[in-house]
């Protein structure tokens, strides 16, 4: 897909069942197709795709979230799995070619592919030449988990790998609410899902796309809010979602869904009942 002069590719690690206690099963595509992801906030597990996004300009290769990264570690038992690196190969890219990594937040399913363990059991950045972007509020909140006793699923972070990236000076912590990373790629802090959750707006030659992270994980949540249990600040998340969807609809923007089961993306419209619907292509 093109957004002006930028190319946008939806990558896919496959389909997973994500459990509230943190464990994850890989599921075949058919299992997902028959499930109804109606109420991810209340069930014990949720079926989800994992779809990081690659944005390419003439000079830059930008990754939006890095997925689970299964199979990246040296000696990993996960063979024959898709991860962000096997996905990049399809586009003729090596991990070294990635210039920017923007993490919507630091939950495991969005950020674990940021690093791997090498043959000497050392943590290494998966993308050695990239600058990683994380919101300062996200980092502070994640670090603060040691001060809280009863952690909900959304308050749990696995940070060990990130200390290495921080000590390598590879992470830029963003502090403002809106930051342009490079021309046409803007990060907007939304909070809601987590305190430092941020989305990415891609804009080029009058065309726009919104990558909403966990503020809008799948197309099923366009007209419903079912994330009460998953969002740390549900009211804030709901408000931001409404506001951004309105904005994206007015702009006839393309929406990209990280947890969609089939890599769904589409331009946003309202039907006669004022419900949001996706059109795969802009009508002429
Ligand atoms: Zn999350």
Please give the tally of structural domains in the chain: 1
Eight-class DSSP state of 277:
E
Question: Cα(193) to centroid of ligand 1, in Å?
Answer: 7
Question: Angle at Cα 73 formed by Cα 69 and Cα 77, nearest 5°?
Answer: 95
Question: Cα(90) to centroid of ligand 1, in Å?
Answer: 27
284 found inside a domain: no
Cα 150 vs. chain centroid, distance in angstroms? 26
Question: Cα(104) to centroid of ligand 1, in Å?
Answer: 9
Give the CATH number of the domain where residue 117 resides: 3.60.15.10
CA dihedral 82, 84, 88, 89 (to 10 degrees): -40
CB 122 within 8 A of CB 78: no
CA-to-CA separations, 64 to 56, 100, 137, 196, 256, in angstroms, rounded: 11, 9, 18, 15, 11
pLDDT for residue 125: 95
CA-to-CA separations, 276 to 23, 74, 222, 251, in angstroms, rounded: 33, 44, 6, 13
Question: Cα(176) to centroid of ligand 1, in Å?
Answer: 21
Average pLDDT for consecutive 10-residue bins of the chain (284 residues)?
Answer: 96 84 72 48 76 97 95 85 94 97 95 94 94 97 84 79 90 97 97 97 97 94 88 95 96 94 85 88 46
Q: Find all residues with CB under 8 Å of 189, minimum gap 6, and list them.
A: 135, 137, 174, 176, 177, 178, 196, 197, 198
φ/ψ region of 56 (left if φ > 0, alpha if ψ in -120 to 50, else beta) reads beta
Question: Cα(217) to centroid of ligand 1, in Å?
Answer: 9
33 found inside a domain: yes
241 found inside a domain: yes
CA-to-CA separations, 167 to 38, 43, 160, 172, in angstroms, rounded: 41, 38, 12, 11
Q: Find all residues with CB under 8 Å of 131, minimum gap 6, and list them.
A: 99, 100, 101, 170, 171, 172
Identify the burial level of 248 via C-beta atoms within 10 angstroms of its C-beta, where 0-12 means exposed, 13-18 middle and 19 or more buried.
buried
Question: Cα(206) to centroid of ligand 1, in Å?
Answer: 30
Question: Cα(92) to centroid of ligand 1, in Å?
Answer: 29
pLDDT for residue 282: 47
The helix or strand, by DSSP H or E, that contains position 182, with its residue range, turns out to be strand 178-182
Question: Cα(246) to centroid of ligand 1, in Å?
Answer: 22
Question: Cα(137) to centroid of ligand 1, in Å?
Answer: 15
Q: pTM for this one?
A: 0.92
Question: Cα(155) to centroid of ligand 1, in Å?
Answer: 9
Question: Cα(93) to centroid of ligand 1, in Å?
Answer: 27
Q: Which residue do the tokens 């063979």 mark?
A: 79
123 found inside a domain: yes
Q: Which residue do the tokens 């331009």 mark?
A: 267
Residue 76 lies in domain: 2-279
Question: Cα(18) to centroid of ligand 1, in Å?
Answer: 11
pLDDT for residue 255: 96
Q: Which residue do the tokens 């969005």 mark?
A: 110
pLDDT for residue 14: 86
């Amino acid at each position: 897909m093109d957004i002006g002069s930028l190319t946008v590719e939806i990558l896919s690690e496959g389909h997973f069942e994500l459990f509230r206690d943190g464990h994850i099963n890989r599921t075949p595509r058919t299992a997902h197709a028959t499930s109804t992801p109606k109420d991810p906030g209340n069930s014990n597990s949720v079926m989800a795709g994992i779809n990081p996004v690659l944005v390419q300009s003439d000079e830059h290769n930008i990754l939006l979230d890095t997925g689970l990264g299964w199979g990246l570690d040296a000696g990993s038992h996960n063979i024959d799995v898709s991860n962000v690196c096997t996905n990049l190969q399809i586009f003729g890219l090596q991990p070294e070619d990635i210039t920017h990594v923007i993490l919507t937040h630091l939950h495991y399913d969005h950020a674990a592919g940021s690093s791997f363990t090498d043959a000497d059991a050392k943590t290494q950045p998966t993308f050695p030449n990239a600058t990683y972007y994380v919101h300062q509020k996200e980092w502070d909140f994640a670090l603060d988990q040691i001060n809280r006793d009863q952690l909900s699923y959304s308050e749990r972070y696995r940070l060990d790998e990130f200390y290495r990236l921080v000590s390598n000076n590879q992470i830029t912590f963003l502090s403002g609410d809106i930051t342009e990373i490079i021309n046409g790629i803007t990060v907007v802090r939304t909070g809601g899902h987590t305190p430092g959750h941020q989305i990415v707006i891609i804009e080029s030659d009058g065309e726009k796309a919104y990558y909403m992270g966990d503020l809008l994980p799948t197309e099923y949540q366009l007209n419903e809010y079912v994330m009460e249990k998953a969002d740390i600040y549900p009211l804030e998340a709901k408000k931001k979602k409404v506001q951004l969807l309105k904005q994206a609809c007015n702009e006839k923007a393309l929406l990209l869904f990280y947890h969609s089961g089939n890599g769904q993306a589409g331009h946003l419209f309202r039907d006669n009942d004022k419900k949001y619907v996706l059109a795969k292509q802009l009508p002429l």
